[in-house]
Amino acid sequence: MNKETEIKLRASRETLEALRDHPLLKKRNKSGWERRELFNQYFDTPERDLAQARVALRLRRDGEQFIQTLKTRGQSVAGLSERNEWDWYLDKAKLDPKKLTDDCWPASLAELDKKQLKPIFTTDFNRDRAEIAWGRGKAKVVIEAALDLGKVIAGKQQEEICELELELRQGEPEALLELAAELAADLPLMPCDISKAERGYRLHDANSYHLSLPAPALSAELTLDDAFAALAWHLLGSSQRLAEQYRFNGHWKLLVDWLEQLIDLRALIGSLGQAAPRASSHELRETLDALLKDWRPRLQAGELDEAVRHGAPQQFAEELQGTRWGLFSLNTSRWLLTRAWTVERNERGNRQGKAPLGNWLPRLLSEEAEALKLERYKRQPEDLAEQLPRIERLLVWLRLARQVLDVPEVDRAYGELSKFAELAALPLDGEVLAARGEQAQTLISLRSWKALAK
């Protein structure tokens, strides 16, 4: 068994061509580019049992070689993937189920009749491959760079494969992100936590494709640093998958969900106080604020105007044709991987970062709820928009960490506060002003709000 650590970056044909001669890759290219033609057949049962178990089974023809490969999903966050992989070299282009023994086959599929395995889609592409190596401090880094161009084909449907794949052969995972970010500063590259197999399933059967990522399981004993990292990885990874799926099908709700992940990520970063000094997140927050400044008004307009919704896919395509989204995604991944927010904080910040979430979170929510001063916005609802960042900080923790709180009816508090946030973002008129005052009173009267604000 091998452990595969890689990052996939969606690109255009023009970007793939530019990557071949990019100065950074050219300088570090130790092997030259080698072209190979790869034909890949994926197998599953009619009920998609392997897809449900997050397993991919592939038969590849590489020149005169036939390779049977089993991959498990492993850990995958924000485009950086770690997967377990088993390879078997075969004498002919025929799947050998006998190779799928208990040492690699998932226990959840132990009762599966392997005779049901049938071909379901193909991924055929040309791969230009090179060994990229350099010294990083006292360590050596070796990365296999692959420029893949071809097609995923499922029945009569097909989708283009056009991506840069970077696989770590030697060195630390951070080196993958460093290289990817340096390339993304010059060229539009989009981290894409969706494998070729997932794209095949998406074409073959949309119901077998899993878009959402499971929310991290938090506990009261977890440190604030660990809880923040888990939640931020989750929000970033979710935003990347939503971006890819919206690029694929243009469904408006996916764009709305994408923006919500970014709003939550911004609120999360802004909630940590001295545990994350502002200097440590300055560049990240600047880019995130610019994204929100551009996209929040567009989505607000689109809720009322079908023409805006209709034009949004082209606007999003233009966003992806620039470098902003890809570079933001990769730099945020690096920031999280290295825990950059912990590097230069003071002793008080260190104590906060190491505090149990069950102690820190109730204090944060109490301070934010008290500072919201709901009584004021019953009388002056026209000023509520200025409190939207504070409301969003409350909402992100109530949404993703409510299991840590000992608060009655916390789900209701979250729901009513979400309505308050929607009203805070609406253009002012008499109806909105009246609704803001009424919603402030609703929140004040909740048992859960009283418990949060005490």
Q: Encode pLDDT of 65-107 as tens digits.
A: 999 999 886 665 555 667 788 999 999 999 999 999 988 898 8
For residue 25, the one-letter residue type is L
| Closest to 176 measured CA to CA, from 72, 242, 81, 244 | 81
Tokens of 142: 């070796």
Class of residue 79 by CB neighbours under 10 A (exposed 0-12, middle 13-18, buried 19+): buried
pLDDT tens-place string over residues 304-341: 999 999 999 999 999 999 999 999 999 999 999 999 99
The predicted model gives 111-138 an average pLDDT of 94
H helices present in 322-429, as ranges: 324-337, 347-354, 357-372, 374-379, 388-400, 410-425
Pick the CATH number of 1-210 from 3.40.50.740, 1.10.600.10, 2.60.40.10, 2.40.320.10: 2.40.320.10
Task: Give backbone dihedrals phi and psi of 56, rounded to 5 degrees, phi first.
Answer: -120, 130
Sign of the dihedral through C-alpha 270, 275, 277, 282: negative
The predicted model gives 203-222 an average pLDDT of 82
pLDDT tens-place string over residues 264-283: 999 999 999 999 999 999 99
| Closest to 71 measured CA to CA, from 193, 165, 195, 172 | 195
Torsion angle of alpha carbons 365, 369, 371, 373, nearest 10°? 180
* Average pLDDT for the chain: 93
Report helix, strand or coil for 84: strand
- Is the predicted pLDDT of residue 217 greater than 80, yes or no? yes
pLDDT at 194: 82
The ranges assigned to domains in the chain are 1-210, 211-218+226-269+279-344, 356-453
- Is the predicted pLDDT of residue 299 greater than 90, yes or no? yes
Question: Could you tell me if 336 and 232 are in contact, meaning their C-beta atoms sit under 8 angstroms apart?
Answer: yes
The DSSP bridge partners found for residue 154 are 157
| Closest to 380 measured CA to CA, from 437, 431, 435, 424 | 437
pLDDT at 212: 77
